[in-house]
């Protein structure tokens, strides 16, 4: 089988999604399954729908278009503010889009009128993470202006947290979103079908027993695909953490010094190599690199340590576990590594039907978290 490749167990993804859908249903919260880290894969989208998600969301209209062409039977939501240049595409393929700018909504209105369609809008509100969002004090006026556009249906409001600045969803900011929803309904009449309380980072709050107020939707991707929460990258009880595995092949295995020699400058990506001399080590090189994934987000098997990476090479210390040429090494991976591996045309994607099986807390057995980042890089997952 070709390498590098992602081996994707659809049964485990289905189990993770079904588990979270069920837990959140008990809190009267629906789930939008996010497919952006899956590159809009129809197979993964199908697993999410079989598990009971109410809609699919993606940040790239191209992924939504691909799922539509594959006849994936689901409401589609563009979860990034549309580009003006893609308004026609958005209206043609997405039932709903997240918005913060009246100029964009105006363009969507024109595109929807031309296409003879009505396009749904969720207005995103800024609650502290400082990514996208309308400032709360400006929301009432934005709603008023949005309601004036023909062929536009205001469906709800939402927020996004923990992506840019790591601001955690909590009782305070989630209550603020509920208050804003109640205020909009009081001023304009009961009209908000959706109050979207964020992404996988909101799970901890939503399942804590806290008052969920008006929040009735979460957008889940990482928690389903990787079985862990984004806030602290800890595994979620009852979920598989090994639904997706990255496989790479050994192309060199030699004993080499642990310390480089010669005049040292910056390496290919601007980092400075470590200077600690550990003596001779068994060095293994794999045919995968930064062009294919995020090396800082890869978790090697026991007995191996990632030493560094260039565009096309991943270098391991395999002293405790020597590998022959042609051997395949399996890695667990974080969100950043998954996102880049899915995007790389050089990484094959192998779908396995799998079967849904119950599981306990699996992460201690299945995932080794790295002790440190690679020199010159930071985990962005």
pLDDT given at position 1: 80
Q: What domains sit in the chain, N to C, each tagged with a CATH number?
A: 10-226 (3.20.20.10), 244-366 (2.40.37)
Structure tokens of 197? 């309380």
Active site residue 12: no
Contact 123, 170 (CB under 8 A): no
Q: Write out the two tokens for 59.
A: 């940040």
Residue 153 Cα distances to 60, 88, 108, 195, angstroms: 21, 16, 11, 15
pLDDT for the residue 101: 98
Q: How far is 149 from 176, CA to CA, in rounded Å?
A: 27
Give the active site residue among 36, 71, 107, 155: 36
Identify the residue whose tokens are 């008006």: 214
Cα separation of 153 and 119, whole Å? Answer: 6
Q: At what angle do helices 139-146 and 102-115 cross, to 10 degrees?
A: 20
Residues pairing with 153 in the sheet: 120
Q: Tell me how far apart the alpha carbons of residues 38 and 153 are, in angstroms, rounded to a whole number.
A: 29
- Which stretches of the chain score pLDDT less than 50? 360-381
Q: Would residue 368 be called left, alpha or beta, if left means φ above 0 and alpha means ψ between -120 and 50 degrees?
A: beta
């Amino acid at each position: 089988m070709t390498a590098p490749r992602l081996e994707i167990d659809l049964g485990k993804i289905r189990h993770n999604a079904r588990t979270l859908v069920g837990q959140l249903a008990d809190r009267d919260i629906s789930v939008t399954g996010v497919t952006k880290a899956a590159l809009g894969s129809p197979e993964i989208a199908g697993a999410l729908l079989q598990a009971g998600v109410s809609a699919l969301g993606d940040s790239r209209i191209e992924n939504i278009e691909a799922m539509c062409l594959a006849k994936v039977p689901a409401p589609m939501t563009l979860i990034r503010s549309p580009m003006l240049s893609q308004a026609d595409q958005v209206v043609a393929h997405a039932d709903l889009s997240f918005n913060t700018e009246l100029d964009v909504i105006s363009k969507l209105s024109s595109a929807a009128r031309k296409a003879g369609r009505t396009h749904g809008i969720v207005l995103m509100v800024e609650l502290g993470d400082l990514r996208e969002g309308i400032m709360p004090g400006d929301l009432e006026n934005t709603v008023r202006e949005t309601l004036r556009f023909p062929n536009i249906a205001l469906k709800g409001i939402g927020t996004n947290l923990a992506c840019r600045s790591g601001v955690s969803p909590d009782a305070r900011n989630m209550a603020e979103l509920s208050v804003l929803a109640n205020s909009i309904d009081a001023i304009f009449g009961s009209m908000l079908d959706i109050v979207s309380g964020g992404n996988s980072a909101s799970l901890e709050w939503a399942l804590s027993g806290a008052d969920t107020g008006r929040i009735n939707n979460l957008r889940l991707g990482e928690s389903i695909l990787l079985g862990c929460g984004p806030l602290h990258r800890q595994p979620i009880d009852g979920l598989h953490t090994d639904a997706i595995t990255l496989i790479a092949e050994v192309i060199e295995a030699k004993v080499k010094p642990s310390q480089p020699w010669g005049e040292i400058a910056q390496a290919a990506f601007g980092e400075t190599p470590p200077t600690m001399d550990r003596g001779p080590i068994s060095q293994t090189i794999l045919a995968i690199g930064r062009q294919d994934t995020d090396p800082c987000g890869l978790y090697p098997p026991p007995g191996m340590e990632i030493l560094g990476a260039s565009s096309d090479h991943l270098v391991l210390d395999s002293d405790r576990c020597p590998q022959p040429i042609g051997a395949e090494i399996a890695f667990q991976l974080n969100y950043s590594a998954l996102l880049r591996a899915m995007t790389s045309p050089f990484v094959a994607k192998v779908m396995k039907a799998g079967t849904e099986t119950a599981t306990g807390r699996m992460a201690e057995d299945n995932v080794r978290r790295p002790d440190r980042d690679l020199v010159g890089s930071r985990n962005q997952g």
